[in-house]
Amino acid sequence: MSSALVSPSGKTLIPVARRTTTPTPANAPKPVPVEREYLEVLIFDKLPRPASAFGHAAIGIDGTVYSRAHEKYFKGSLTEYLRSNTQGVKRDVVGLYLWVSPRERRIVQDELERRVVEDEKYSVFSNSCSSNVADILELVGIMAHDPRYFPTPVSPADLLAVLSKSNRLVERRFYGKGYEGGASGNW
């Protein structure tokens, strides 16, 4: 075998080194590293009172929950929020664990923080718990309401139905009445 190569222009080339750049065969699938972070959309069941007749929705990021309530925009501990709703109020909660990029998580968290500070007046059509979750997720391209229907009002059931079919869904968690927190065996 000759160690010299001839280029298309006729120049003689001599190989200096030979190196394999891919450690796997050419036809083998290769991993594509993607940075992923996670957030959790919490869907609460309804209560027999007018303020919670359709259920409730909130977003959890890094152990903090953000939730639009009638009185104010709430920010607090995710674990305590789940405990108070499952043990105290006796609600069932479905958690939809979604993946997002680090940039998308920052956008979502910054928007949630902005809304907490502004604390605009509650409106069932434009500033409810579920419309806030839908608006914020749609800021980063996650469809959170059924496009076949009017964009408002968005109910917690709408969020659950649409996000359950999302390609961003990693895990569906169930926090039943009496959830104690911490152990994954409680899901």
Going by DSSP bridges, is the β-strand pair 73-77/93-100 parallel, antiparallel, or unpaired? unpaired
Strand partners, 100: 37
State the pTM of this model: 0.77
CATH no., domain 37-179: 3.90.1720
Here the tokens at position 1 are: 């075998």
Domain ranges in the chain are 37-179
pLDDT tens per residue across span 33-47:
888 999 999 999 877
Give the dihedral of Cα atoms 187, 116, 56, 176; nearest 10 deg. 20
pLDDT tens per residue across span 7-19:
889 898 888 887 7
